[in-house]
Amino acid sequence: MTLGGEELAVLNAQDDWTAAEVEMCLPEWSQTLTTSLRFLHCGTVLAPGISLAEAGIVDDSKLLVLRISVWHVITTSHDGTVRLWNADTGECTRSFEGCDGHDDEVLSASFSSDGSRVVTASLDGAAKIWSTDTGLCIGGALGCPGDMLSTAFVPGAAEEVLVATRDPAVKLYSEDLSDCRRILEGHSDCVNSATLSSDGSLVLTASEDGTARIWCRASGDCLHVLRGHEASVLSADFSWNRALVVSASDDHTAKVWCVESGKCLQTLQGHRGFVLCAAFSTAGTLVLTGSGDHTARIWSSSTGDCLHCLGRHKGAVLCALFSPDGSQAATASWERVARIWCTVTGKCLHTLRGHTSDVVSVAYSLDGARVVTASFDNTACVWSVETGQRLRVLWGHEDRLSGATFWPNREVH
């Protein structure tokens, strides 16, 4: 029965059954990629491998069934593989590799909205689709070796995949990568990043030509060319409500733009090095930038004022992002630690120590309770945001990691 008192089934169970056999009799409740089941008898969880008889369960006993959310981490590596991990146990639950796998560093991995597939991009020039149930490759598209940047399923609608390469053009493919449906052409130099708005209706690209562009995904039309930077635009991102765009540039500035008009609203000046990354808080009121000058900065998106300079880093800040509620920020730089900051005071709350080589990425879980870091020491680590303590080390890759993120990592639209 459930916590609500609903009776799910009456089972004619054998004494030597374990929780696994009980679960097999509840197919509609069986565990999925994001949930697992727990059985309780008289307030005690039925431990794995313990029989019903050993747990003191007799005729007419009642078991309480709980469905528990399971967080996963997906990691990408220079060893050419992608791995899926249970963030609670540290167990590797799936490895995407084999004879149909990548032959070089994997740069990105993205889930479909329903979690049934993963799309990956690699320096071997290939994008591939994988089944999360079997770990097998079920589709792919071949580009030019070394040119692939990133891939992503369109949020909320898995019928298209965005593929970005180092070409000036970005492409939209069918869900199995067999058909190129639209080519977004207009940049005069290489594309450095491509991202989708939260509802999947818009595409945003950043380029070596010093501009960013906003595109209509459905038609492929360029809606706005965002001109104003004096050097390459390294990255760009939408606000969650897709009203604003922030761009990060080699010219030591970031800029905030209006999506509707394409006009520059604010220029964020203060960094003394390349601005490598920029992101909005969920509410869109704050911008966080990471720079080659070894600092991150928090800005007001409405006024352009710098609210806090987050120092202490010993290298370029490669990754910087807000927690889901905007109360904290996390940064990763060319050193062996990551840091968590208070966005109200600008103070460092935790320094996450434990990696033995440079940390190249950091990401929050959707509930904001944990972060995951990826390092050149071949591992990812899961940390408690509240205490700063390391909870799990994810071992298994044979080469440096290029990234790690939680899944689910956003609400399904």
Higher pLDDT, 348 or 14: 348
Token duo for residue 5: 């008192």
**Buried b vs exposed e over 23-33: b needs ≥16 C-beta within 10 Å?**
beeeeeeeeeb
pLDDT value, residue 367: 93
Checking if the pLDDT of 333 tops 60, the result is: yes
Give me the long-range contacts of 347-355 (CB less than 8 A, separation at least 24).
Answer: 348/310, 348/312, 349/388, 350/383, 350/385, 350/387, 350/388, 351/388, 352/381, 352/383, 352/388, 352/390, 354/381, 354/390, 354/393, 355/379, 355/381
Q: What's the average model confidence in pLDDT over 238-243?
A: 97
Three-class DSSP category at 24: helix
DSSP-derived pairing of the beta strands 82-86 and 117-122? unpaired
- Per residue in 6-31, pLDDT (tens digit) is 665 677 778 788 877 777 777 665 55
- Encode pLDDT of 139-185 as tens digits: 998 887 778 899 999 987 558 999 999 899 999 999 999 999 999 99
User: What is the distance between the alpha carbons of residues 410 and 413, in angstroms, rounded to a whole number?
Assistant: 9
- For the ranges 10-14, 241-245, 399-403, 404-408, the lowest mean pLDDT is seen at 10-14
pLDDT digits (tens, 9 = 90+) for 278-311: 999 999 999 999 999 999 999 999 999 999 999 9
Q: Which amino acid is at 209?
A: D
50-76 pLDDT, tens per residue? 788 887 887 777 777 766 667 899 999
Task: Compute the average pLDDT of residues 27-56.
Answer: 70
Least confident of 27-36, 111-120, 122-131, 287-296: 27-36
Least confident of 8-17, 116-125, 262-271, 327-336: 8-17
Asked if 115 and 131 count as a contact pair (C-beta separation under 8 A), the reply is: no
DSSP SS3 for 108 = strand
Give the separation between CA 108 and CA 121, rounded to whole angstroms.
5
> Has residue 413 got a pLDDT over 50?
no
Mean pLDDT for the chain overall: 90
HSE-CB of 37 using CA atoms within 13 angstroms: 22
- Compute and round to an integer the Cα radius of gyration of the chain: 23
pLDDT score at 390 = 98
User: Any idea what DSSP says for residue 89?
Assistant: T
Cis? peptide before 324, omega within 30° of 0: no
Phi then psi dihedrals of residue 177, to 5 deg: 65, 20
Structure confidence at residue 154 (pLDDT): 93
